[in-house]
Amino acid sequence: MEINDLKTFLDEKVLTYNTSAFIETDPISLPRLFTEKHDIEIAGFLAATISWGQRQSIIKAGHSILRLMDHQPYHFVMNGDVSAIPDGPVYRTFNGTDLRYFIHALRNIYTKYGGLEKVFTTGYLPNKSLKESITYFRSIFISFQSPERSGKHVANVLKNSSAKRICMFLRWMVREDKMKVDFGLWKNIDSAHLMLPLDLHTGNVARKLGLLIRKQSDWKAVEEITARLREFESSDPIKYDYALFGLGVFEKF
């Protein structure tokens, strides 16, 4: 497919899938339950953290986490009895120990570092780099205490992780979306610098379309596919996440 034809094809798929109908069946429906900024951030971060596997299962587990937080994510992070969170599975390998650590780490971030937006933005601004943003965030997140197991749920891009879940969370928070799917809450990170949340579906479709050559789904692949998408739309390359994901999940492309 010629480059112009491919752009036209993907633009049409963005219009198909970047709609409000997408929300109901996606983990973004969890932060969409809230209207206050900090509630949206925290619910979104926790929802993104468990976003691997079947989306229905992810959403079900996300609702269970919100119930544990009395449906007040920010208030619970700042004031809740974290010790009351039981041991045992929360979602797959993410368990009660991990959730308690995450809440303590978030409390540390909001108390000492000005919140999630401030941390990600601080890492981003020097070189306008999302990789540096994610790296800085991880360093702050695990500085609360050395996590014996919970740190594995926070992507390490310095070890070439694709950081799919964090990239997706940042898409939710940063991207200005006329269709009101993504939130666009954070104004100091440029949507042009977002990176594709690379997963099985987006990777397979991108390879079939000739947009991604690298076989491993790692950070180098994220950089490769995002660079190609910027050729189509330099100011908003990650809008094509909807096209690639929709083609893979809904059309079995």
pLDDT digits (tens, 9 = 90+) for 67-124: 999 999 999 999 999 999 999 999 999 999 999 999 999 999 999 999 999 999 999 9
Structure token pair of residue 19: 């709609």
Neighbours of 67 (CB within 10 A): 9
What is the model's pLDDT at position 39? 98
What is the model's pLDDT at position 1? 72
Q: How confident is the model at residue 200 (pLDDT cuts 50, 70, 90)?
A: very high
Query: What is the amino acid identity at position 131?
Result: K
Structure token pair of residue 110: 């909001």
Q: How confident is the model at residue 252 (pLDDT cuts 50, 70, 90)?
A: confident
- Rounded to whole angstroms, the Cα distance separating 225 from 198 reads 9
- Rounded to whole angstroms, the Cα distance separating 230 from 241 reads 12
- Rounded to whole angstroms, the Cα distance separating 8 from 2 reads 10
Q: 7, 232 in Cβ contact below 8 A?
A: yes
Convert 154-189 to b/e letters by CB count within 10 Å (16 or more is b).
bbbbeeebbbbbbbbbbbbbbbebebebbbebbeeb
pLDDT digits (tens, 9 = 90+) for 152-183: 899 999 999 999 999 999 999 999 988 999 99
pLDDT at 247 over 70: yes
User: Domain segments of the chain: what residues?
Assistant: 3-249
C-alpha pair distances (Å), 37 with each of 20, 107, 134, 148, 233: 20, 15, 20, 31, 28
At 53 the three-state DSSP class reads: coil
C-alpha pair distances (Å), 250 with each of 12, 13, 180: 15, 11, 21
